[in-house]
Amino acid sequence: MTRDRVLPAALGLGTFTAFILAAEALIRLGFVNRFIVPLPSQVAGAFARVVAEEHVVARFFMTAGEALVAGLLLTAVGISLGALLYRVALLRAACETWIAAMASAPIVLMYPLFLVIFGRSAWTIIMIGFMAGLPPVILKTIEGFAGTRQVLVNVGRSFNLTRGQQFVKILFPAALPTIFVGLRLGLIFALINIVGVEFLINFGGLGQLINDLAERYDLPGTYVAICFVILVSVVFFEVTGRIERWLRPAE
């Protein structure tokens, strides 16, 4: 069992390390231009400098704050809209395909529009994140409520629950795992777009850092900043993934 997992992981990490070493060697030997690709060792050396000089912690909290606000908006607006559409079947029949289509639209490209409305401020970033994350939250909320097993609803009725009780005691708990799946997807979309817009409009947290360093032509620094963003995404992805698994009942 353990060997099944350890060997592939070792191969993966080994390949990764070999790749880094090969890059280092190729650049040192002059096969790759070091003004286009910095030495991996140089990038590693730049970590401490970037953390100290570029306020990485403060930037991280800025990005996290934007994501948090977008997430709160998503939770409040997305779940309420989902519940509303579930309740009013006619509205759902009319709008569900539209929302699904919105999910495939390049919403983030509206950022110049939001720049005009909100200026170069955190609100532009937050609103783009919110808009980009909204469709999955709404769709999964509807799916969660609609997917509640009829027998559970009937159990509730057999105990003479009121509509309110029915919602709080049966529908909502039954739908919660699916709703969280949507919320997690929404948050991931929001985070991707928040960092992206930070980079594009050169404002805010970690995304701006990349833009800053690239414009200063600080190559190792740019790579370090990219590593930070990847790290933050991975941690976020993993943590929310754990919560999702924890919420899902054992099958």
Q: Does 79 bind other proteins (CB under 8 A)?
A: no
Q: Does 219 bind other proteins (CB under 8 A)?
A: yes
Residues 104-133 that bind other proteins (CB under 8 A): 104-106, 108-113, 115-117
Q: What is each CA distance from 58 to 15, 51, 114, in whole angstroms?
A: 34, 10, 25
**Strand stretches in 2-122, DSSP E:** none
Q: Does 8 bind other proteins (CB under 8 A)?
A: yes
Q: What is each CA distance from 94 to 85, 98, 111, 132, 140, in whole angstroms?
A: 9, 8, 28, 21, 17
Four-point Cα dihedral 208, 210, 214, 215, nearest 10: 10
Nearest approach in angstroms of CB 215 to other proteins is 8
Residue 84 to residue 107: CA distance in whole angstroms = 23
DSSP 119: -
Nearest approach in angstroms of CB 72 to other proteins is 20
Residue 145 to residue 176: CA distance in whole angstroms = 9
Determine the distance from the C-alpha atom of residue 88 to the mean position of all C-alpha atoms in its chain, rounded to a whole number.
30
Give the pair of three-digit tokens for residue 53: 């000089």
The interface region with other proteins, picked from 23-31, 52-60, 75-83, 228-236 by CB under 8 A, is 228-236
Q: Does 153 bind other proteins (CB under 8 A)?
A: yes
Which residue among 195, 203, 205, 224 contacts other proteins (CB under 8 A)? 195
Q: Does 152 bind other proteins (CB under 8 A)?
A: no
Binding site for other proteins (CB under 8 A): 1, 4-5, 7-9, 11-12, 15-16, 36-37, 89-91, 93-95, 101, 104-106, 108-113, 115-117, 150, 153, 188, 191-193, 195-196, 199-200, 207, 210-211, 214, 219, 222-223, 225-226, 229-230, 233-234, 237-238
